[in-house]
A = this chain, B = another copy of it.
């Protein structure tokens, strides 16, 4: 292995000088810098990140902690990850996806080993135990999602209020007055404090009340099967419904599939609108009209916010909340 010592010897300088050009931490005359750089390429030097990390107490690794066992890794999550990794790379950090449990145990282990400089937390619960872990261990972190108590926490999230307002406004504008919200299954312990469901549902109740339309909410697990089953319940219990708003991407595909099976023509007889990533929307038939989850923006923003924190820079100014925007598909139309 070629070390800085080798480079220094070859360039006829001290190891410290090599460090200075590598990190750009002190001025070095162009001549010596050039000699050092030449030596580095000649020798094929690659700096040892582990040694650097030990000496500087920074690894330049950011972990995106994903609760692999409790949430399936869907398209939206893939968007978060890809964009976050890209943002990190641009700032000379490595961002890796680190599967951890939802209870905080594995996260404790991870951050206790001082292997990562910071953590981007995905799928945050309203009272997430992992946040206590990060605070206790004084690990810098950023949230994609929000807890209930947000004081001082670096976070980015979907603006559910605006999103739901826009979604319902759009359907209302088309003439729909009999809507149903298909939310998550709040009885499921994994989700009963899951922000996206809780906040969207609250926003929906508020917005629906504002329009003076009846508020009907169906609960539904995050699976296609559950979505299909929800479609059955929907037609049985609320046959007069003309439009459905679905929060989960898997549920939405199931609702589409279920309505199709039951012979409802979409969008002629019933409209469906869902919060999801565009890749997913293309999977249904007809193609879904969606409120597009701002995955790329959130992944990038979250990572940038964390890195600013790591480098002691001034916090990123707002916006921290990004609304999902309407993308027209083929699943919405005026009511029959």
Contact surface of A with B, Cβ cutoff 8 Å: 1, 46-51, 53-54, 59, 61, 63, 68, 72-73, 78, 81-82, 85, 94-99, 109-110, 112-115, 223-225, 250, 253-254, 256-257, 260-261, 279, 282-286
- 10 closest A-B pairs by CB: A46-B112, A49-B113, A97-B97, A96-B96, A257-B285, A224-B282, A73-B78, A85-B99, A50-B53, A49-B115
Number of copies: 2
Contact A99 B114 (CB under 8 A): no
Kindly list chain B residues whose C-beta atoms are within 8 Å of the C-beta of A51: 54
Shortest Cβ gap from A106 to chain B (Å): 8
Contact indicator A257/B279 (Cβ below 8 Å): no
Q: Which chain B residues lie closer than 8 Å to A47 at the CB level?
A: 113
Known: A68-B85, A96-B96, A96-B98. A282 touches B223 (CB 8 A): yes
Q: Which of B46, B73, B260, B285 contacts A81 (CB 8 A)?
A: B73
Q: Which residues of B contact A85 (CB under 8 A)?
A: 68, 99
Q: A85 — nearest CB in chain B belongs to which residue?
A: B99
A113 to B46, CA, bound (A): 6
**A96: nearest residue on chain B (CB-CB)?**
B96
Quick one: given A53-B50, A98-B96, are A283 and B253 in contact (CB under 8 Å)? yes
- Chain B hits for A115, CB < 8 A: 49-50, 61, 94
Bound CA–CA A150/B109 (angstroms): 38
**Which residues of chain B are within 8 angstroms of A78 by Cβ–Cβ distance?**
72-73
The distance in angstroms between the C-alpha atoms of A51 and B115, with both chains bound, is 10
| A318 vs chain B, min Cβ distance (A) | 28
